[in-house]
Amino acid sequence: MPLVNGGKIVDDSFVKLAVDTPLPESGDILVPAERFLGEADALLKRAGKVGVIWPNSRDISELVPYLGKLAVVALVFPTFRDGRAYSQARLLRERYNYRGELRATGQVLRDQFVFMLRAGFDAFDVKKQADAEAFMQTAKRYSVFYQPTGDGRITALHRRMQLRHSEGVGT
Amino acid sequence: MYAYDEIDRTLVNERVSEFRDQVKRRLSGELNEDEFKMLRLQNGVYLQLHAYMFRVAIPYGTLATNQLRALAHVARKYDRGYGHFTTRQNIQFNWIKLAELPDALADLAEVGIHAMQTSGNNMRNVTSDQWAGVAPGEIEDPRIWSELIRQHTTLHPEFSFLPRKFKIAITASDHDRAAIRIHDIGLRLIKNEKGETGFEVLVGGGLGRTPFIAKTIKHFVHGRDILSYIEAILRVYNQYGRRDNIYKARIKILVHELGIEKFSREVEDEWQHIRNSSLQIDDEVIEDIRSRFTYPAYEKLPHMPDELRQAAADPDFEAWRKNSVAPHKVQGYSIVTVSLKPTGGPPGDATAEQMDALADLADKYSFSEIRVGHEQNLALPHVAKRDLPALWKALDRLGLATPNVNLITDIIACPGLDYCSLANARSIPIAQELTRRFANHELANLIGRLHINISGCINACGHHHVGHIGILGVEKNGEEVYQITIGGRADENAALGTLIGPGVKFDEVADVIEDVVEAYLALRERPEELFMDTVKRLGVEPFKERVYATR
Ligand code: HEM
Ligand code: SF4
């Protein structure tokens, strides 16, 4: 699956570990939640960055003590219909101020990019090559947003206020 | 009327271009049906028995005449010349071609109409009282808040992939015409002791396989906090709503399984985190939305104009006026309900010609505005009383003056087996037969207010649970069988109907309904005792006896 980060297709430096894969000596690793919570101290001490793959059915607040030390949080879309990870993403970004890489994994298709970006994702394990290639074009599809989220984009309501005030200046 | 500005129009156009691209990818095979399904549903496109069905949103039921003409145009150009108004303040077209859908959407976008989120597991079209803004005694026009919520929930990045569909309805009147108690969230505009505007919030209502009447989760949420409160409810639902079984995925099941106390504690907890965020609405924002609703420049008119006095001599006019004309908050004006329930017709259908002609009449007599109600009728919200006789004549010529609003032939029915791929039984032919049986206006009038609701399967699109008489089609050994309930209602005293006995065959339904009605006429204490009151007083037993004694 191609990884899109910063709007471009990039090489993934992270190796995904299963629950029982032996720990490589060095290099960046992505670890399942269960395993991460079990051996967090050991994992964080070794050389190389650590990321965690967090299931969408587990309370994201359990991660809070580690957020400063994690390079990646990967949230999971087991099917594109299951939107729980959107809520987790917003909580991480907006409530817990997580600033590291927030990666969408699983059934990630181009038609969700806008929603994911708005919810705070900045990296995407995209399922189809063609979708990954269409990232920039698809991500720019919308210029109007009705609701405030942590992505900081101005909402339609506030854009109207601005327009109204700037019109008001001249009169 | 609410006026879209450049910002709203841009969003709708961007949506159309996205969907055009998605359809193209589907037609080229780049998207498989499973992937495409969710995308088309989010744009109101179903695959039905015979063809694609296209569902267009009419937010809070308000239409401008150019918008109604655009719907007529879609009916004519892309469909078979008619459309079907539904219980969700939507209109459905039954025979549309997939390849032409993007063009149909683009044509609608020109007049600020869209099909966003009219289906799929997201926030559906926000519905409201079809008399909003003109009914006497309202707290304030609920459409201002409906529009605020419509905007907030459109393409919401967190709530576009919920466990299941999600419906919000809003009322601002004591008499609930928006059926808020059978919605996922029902909002009732109220004022607190300080005179501040806010909402009673109800949650967990819904029909379908497991019907529930919504429960009050909070007695007062200030207007400024309503978005954050809704967001809190949705976030709890998104996290904890069941996804293992679509029949248990609606919020009503979560509320039921947790209990309203536990559910409301979860919501409260979440709300405390977000209520003072950018979701808080300042007055300026509300004023901005309010300012984009324009109201007619009403004239100062007499309460009883000569035209009306003279027309009163015509019994046909009087029959219609008594039935279809309701008081307006401004003296000299009325609200006129336009019945889409002619004798022998499918409830809620309108032809392109009728839509165009009605748009002309609304331009002439109703400040270019039309409303759509969940009873599948239309309304002209600002008719000067002096114009009523002329309007009636014109409506009558169009077949839109059947004087049966709220009477036994004002039937709500889903499409059933005639169109719907989920149906177990026919609905429309049952409705048609009943309108013929009770076509006599004197008889219908004698019976008084009585709502019949028909659904072709347990999904309850025809609201059968909350019909005074509910008819539900089920399948038994390959045959259509109908279960009859009585005593349901969808208003401020919402209740679910009670089954009166074993299901009956297609051919027997109309006879059984006649029996129920005859029983009521014999049992009522006085002519003013409505069907519902008799059922409340006596329960189902006497009706059961009457229906089944001879069967
Ligand atoms: C023609 C294609 C249609 C399909 C495939 C369809 C499908 C469904 C399904 C599956 C449900 C059950 C949802 C649940 O409880 O989880 C439902 C409920 C409902 N539908 Fe439809 N429907 C269709 C047409 C209509 C029409 C024409 C109307 C209005 C006349 C309508 C209005 C409703 C309403 C009001 C509910 C109420 C259930 C609730 O909110 O609890 N639907 N529909
Ligand atoms: S109630 Fe059943 S038959 Fe009727 S429209 Fe809904 S899904 Fe179809």
Mean pLDDT estimate for chain A: 94
CA distance A120 to A118: 5
| B489 strand-pairing partners | B495
Min Cα–Cα distance to chain B from A143, Å: 7
**Average pLDDT estimate for B133-151:** 96
CA B284 to mean position of chain CA atoms:
31
**In chain A, pLDDT over 90 holds for what percent of residues?**
86
CA distance B180 to B128: 8
pLDDT band at residue A171 under the 50/70/90 scheme: very low
**Average pLDDT estimate for B101-108:** 96
Structure confidence by residue, pLDDT tens digits, A101-155: 999 999 999 999 999 999 999 999 999 999 999 999 999 999 999 999 999 899 9
B/e letters for A13-36, b = 16+ CB within 10 Å, e = fewer, are ebeebeeeeeeeeeebbbbbbebb
What is residue B2's predicted lDDT score, i.e. its pLDDT? 82
Contacts for A44 with CB less than 8 Å, ≥ 6 apart: A50, A66, A69
Structure tokens that stand for B382 in this block: 């600002």
What Cα–Cα distance (Å) separates residue B91 from each residue in B184, B267, B446?
Answer: 21, 34, 32
What is residue B309's predicted lDDT score, i.e. its pLDDT? 96
What is residue A169's predicted lDDT score, i.e. its pLDDT? 53
Residue B290 touches partner A, C-beta closer than 8 Å: no
CB–CB of B44/B56 below 8 Å?
A: yes
**Average pLDDT estimate for B271-285:** 93
Residues of B in contact with A157 (CB under 8 A): 151, 285, 288
| Residue of A118, A160, A164 lying closest to B157 (CB–CB) | A118
What is residue A12's predicted lDDT score, i.e. its pLDDT? 97
Min Cα–Cα distance to chain A from B24, Å: 13
How many other C-beta atoms are found inside a 10 Å radius of the C-beta of residue B390?
15
| B479 strand-pairing partners | B476
CA distance B320 to A61: 62
DSSP secondary structure letters along B103-152:
HHHHHHHTTT---TTSSSSSB---EE-TTTTTSTT-SS-HHHHHHHHHHH
Q: Which helix (H) or strand (E) holds B428?
A: helix B428-437
**Average pLDDT estimate for B267-289:** 94
Q: Which atom of ligand 2 is nearest to B421's Cα?
A: 8
Residues of B in contact with A83 (CB under 8 A): 121, 158-162, 238
* Mutate: best of A56, A144, A153, A163, partner B, most B CBs <10 A: A144
Residues of B in contact with A152 (CB under 8 A): none
Contacts for B489 with CB less than 8 Å, ≥ 6 apart: B451, B466, B468, B495, B532
**Parallel/antiparallel/unpaired status of strands A28-32 and A50-54:** parallel
Cα B19 to averaged position of ligand 2 atoms, centre (Å): 26
Structure confidence by residue, pLDDT tens digits, A21-58: 999 989 999 999 999 999 999 999 999 999 999 999 99
| B523 strand-pairing partners | none
What is residue A33's predicted lDDT score, i.e. its pLDDT? 97
Q: Which atom of ligand 2 is nearest to B425's Cα?
A: 3
Contacts for B55 with CB less than 8 Å, ≥ 6 apart: B44, B45, B46, B86, B90, B91, B92, B115, B118, B119
What is residue B117's predicted lDDT score, i.e. its pLDDT? 95
What Cα–Cα distance (Å) separates residue B20 from each residue in A138, B71, B105, B155?
Answer: 13, 19, 9, 17
Structure confidence by residue, pLDDT tens digits, A71-106: 999 999 999 999 999 999 999 999 999 999 999 999
| Residue of B38, B156, B285 lying closest to A147 (CB–CB) | B156
Could you tell me which of A11, A6, A32, A44 has the C-alpha nearest to residue A122?
A: A6
**Average pLDDT estimate for B60-89:** 96
Cα B458 to averaged position of ligand 1 atoms, centre (Å): 9
pLDDT band at residue B134 under the 50/70/90 scheme: very high
Span between the terminal Cα atoms of chain A, in Å: 56
Q: Which of B2-11, B292-301, B416-425, B517-526 has the lowest mean pLDDT?
A: B2-11
CA distance B538 to B333: 40
Q: Which ligand is nearest to the CA of B427?
A: 2
Mean pLDDT estimate for chain B: 96
What is residue B550's predicted lDDT score, i.e. its pLDDT? 80
**In chain A, pLDDT over 70 holds for what percent of residues?**
97
Number of H helices, E strands in chain B: 18, 21
Could you tell me which of B458, B218, B463 has the C-alpha nearest to residue B348?
A: B463
B208 lines ligand 1 (CB under 6 A): yes
| Residue of B11, B239, B273 lying closest to A144 (CB–CB) | B11
Residue B310 touches partner A, C-beta closer than 8 Å: no
What is residue B3's predicted lDDT score, i.e. its pLDDT? 81
Under DSSP, the state recorded for A24 is: P
CA distance B96 to B79: 5
Q: Which ligand is nearest to the CA of B417?
A: 2
Q: Is B68 helix (H, G, I), strand (E, B) or coil?
A: helix
A vs B: CB pairs below 8 A: 96
Which chain A residue's Cα is nearest to B163? Answer: A82
Cα B347 to averaged position of ligand 2 atoms, centre (Å): 14
What is residue A168's predicted lDDT score, i.e. its pLDDT? 60
Contacts for B534 with CB less than 8 Å, ≥ 6 apart: B520, B523, B524, B525
Is the confidence at residue B400, as pLDDT, over 90?
A: yes
pLDDT band at residue B296 under the 50/70/90 scheme: very high
Structure confidence by residue, pLDDT tens digits, B308-332: 999 999 999 999 999 999 999 999 9
Place of tokens 């015409």: B177
**Average pLDDT estimate for B76-87:** 95
Residue B291 touches partner A, C-beta closer than 8 Å: no
**Average pLDDT estimate for B442-463:** 97
Structure confidence by residue, pLDDT tens digits, B153-212: 999 999 999 999 999 999 999 999 999 999 999 999 999 999 999 999 999 999 999 999
Site residues for ligand 2, CB cut-off 6 Å: B 414-416, 420, 422-423, 427, 455-457, 459-462
CA distance B95 to B80: 7
Contacts for B244 with CB less than 8 Å, ≥ 6 apart: none
Asked if the Cβ–Cβ distance from A114 to B157 is below 8 Å, we say yes
**In chain B, pLDDT over 70 holds for what percent of residues?**
100
Phi/psi of residue B514, nearest 5 degrees: -60, -40
CB–CB of B26/B36 below 8 Å?
A: yes
DSSP secondary structure letters along B196-253:
-EEEEEEE--B-TTS-B--EEEEEEEEGGGHHHHHHHHHHHHHHHS--S-GGG-SHHH
DSSP secondary structure letters along A28-74:
EEEEEHHHHHHSHHHHHHSSS-EEEEE-TTS-GGGGGGGGGG-SEEE
Query: What's the burial of A133, exposed, middle or buried (CB within 10 Å: 0-12/13-18/19+)?
Result: middle
Q: Is B326 helix (H, G, I), strand (E, B) or coil?
A: strand
**Average pLDDT estimate for B346-364:** 98
Contacts for B397 with CB less than 8 Å, ≥ 6 apart: none
The length of chain A, given as a count of residues = 171
Residue B13 touches partner A, C-beta closer than 8 Å: no
CA B350 to mean position of chain CA atoms:
16
Residue A87 touches partner B, C-beta closer than 8 Å: yes
Q: Is B424 helix (H, G, I), strand (E, B) or coil?
A: coil
CB–CB of A37/A31 below 8 Å?
A: no
Residue B273 touches partner A, C-beta closer than 8 Å: yes
CA distance B263 to B271: 12
Q: Whose CA is nearest to atom 4 of ligand 1?
A: B420
CB–CB of B220/B228 below 8 Å?
A: no
CA angle at B380 for the pair B376 and B386, rounded to the nearest 5°:
140
